């Protein structure tokens, strides 16, 4: 078959139509890349939300466990008596009076039982404070 010679007009039409096809192909390629980026961002967001959800669940479980431990400790540390501090009283004075010993293993349970009132600094006791004296822990009763 003999090819027809293209005129200038035919070549111009081919050039324009190729340009349109190339532009459409480039636009489609850009759209596909944009869709891939959006999908990746969505996957990352879902993964992040899943991590946050797992962390919240772990924190809730840890908090529940801490509450159980605290409840057991509170149940184990049954208050025996209440004692109002007098001028000059210290943790060792109180432990000597109720437990017969002055060393830290003996006064520490008294401090721990009253930590909510005294605070994190065990030296902040003052005359007039009413302390709860817990039962002596079993491991110290044998000594």
Last residue of some domain: 76, 95, 116?
Answer: 76
Q: Are residues 69 and 83 in the same domain?
A: no
pLDDT per residue as tens digits for the range 17-44: 676 777 778 889 999 999 999 999 999 9
Q: Are residues 67 and 9 in the same domain?
A: yes
Last residue of some domain: 22, 49, 76?
Answer: 76
Distances (CA, A) of 62 to 50, 57, 69, 141: 18, 9, 10, 32
Taking every pair of Cα atoms in the chain, the longest distance, rounded to a whole number of angstroms, is 122
> How many folded domains does the chain comprise?
2
pLDDT at residue 137, rounded to an integer = 83
Q: Are residues 6 and 18 in the same domain?
A: yes
Residue 135 CA to its chain's centroid (Å): 34
pLDDT tens track, the chain, 143 positions: 566 787 887 777 776 667 677 777 888 999 999 999 999 999 999 999 999 999 999 999 998 888 888 777 766 656 568 999 999 999 999 999 999 999 989 999 999 999 998 888 888 899 999 999 988 888 887 76
CATH code: domain of residue 92: 3.10.350.10
- Other Cβ atoms less than 10 A from the Cβ of 59: the count is 10
Beta partners for residue 81, in sequence order: 133
Last residue of some domain: 44, 61, 76?
Answer: 76
Structural domain boundaries, residue 53: 1-76
């Amino acid at each position: 078959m003999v090819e027809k010679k293209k005129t200038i007009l035919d070549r111009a039409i081919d050039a324009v139509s190729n340009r349109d096809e190339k532009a459409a192909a480039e636009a489609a390629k850009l759209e596909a890349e944009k869709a891939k980026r959006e999908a990746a961002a969505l996957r990352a967001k879902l993964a992040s939300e899943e991590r946050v959800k797992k962390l919240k669940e772990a924190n809730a479980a840890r908090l529940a466990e801490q509450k159980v431990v605290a409840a057991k400790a509170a149940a184990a540390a049954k208050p025996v008596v209440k004692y109002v501090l007098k001028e000059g009283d210290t943790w060792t004075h109180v432990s000597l009076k109720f437990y017969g010993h002055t060393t830290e293993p003996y006064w520490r349970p008294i401090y721990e039982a009253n930590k909510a009132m005294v605070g994190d600094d065990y030296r902040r006791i003052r005359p007039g404070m009413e302390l709860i004296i817990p039962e002596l822990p079993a491991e110290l009763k044998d000594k």
